[in-house]
Amino acid sequence: MTERPRADQVALERLFPDAEKRQLAGDFIEEASRLAGISRIITYDLSGQQRIMVIAYGDTSPDDINDPIRDIYGKFSNHRDFNEVLGFPNIVTELQYNDLVLCDPETIKGEITVLWERPKVQVPA
């Protein structure tokens, strides 16, 4: 069994210089990365504030992971930095994310940072 990759600590330190906020983001990523349907967790700038986005595998709807992700958000909702670091659940599929970037680049403008990504698995032909 391979070890699950951890969140990009360098990116977390740059995006969240405050140790407590960085810990909150890291703990959220650690929990969310355990869900099999998650392909990536990124951060982007929304009106001058970093927002975390969870990207699920698939092309139509992230419905199968919405409830588990909301449960994870709920675990951290009492943290004093919750709104600033995590905000609202932001869950999209790979296709929805690609459409968003292509069709509405103003929504996600500026730097997009991958905080965590599931390793690609090579399948023998």
Whether the predicted pLDDT of 35 surpasses 70: yes
Which pLDDT belongs to residue 46? 76
pLDDT digits (tens, 9 = 90+) for 59-117: 777 778 888 999 999 999 999 999 989 988 889 999 988 888 888 776 666 678 999 99
Whether the predicted pLDDT of 3 surpasses 60: no
Whether the predicted pLDDT of 1 surpasses 50: no
Fold of 9-117: GMP Synthetase; Chain A, domain 3 (3.30.300)
DSSP string for residues in the chain: -PPPPPP-HHHHHHH--SHHHHHHHHHHHHHHTTSTTEEEEEEEEETTEEEEEEEESSSS--HHHHHHHHHHHHHHTTSTTHHHHT-S--EEEHHHHHHHHHH-TTTT-S--EEEEEPPP-PPP-
What residue segments make up the domains of the chain, in order of their start?
Answer: 9-117
Q: Which pTM value belongs to this model?
A: 0.85
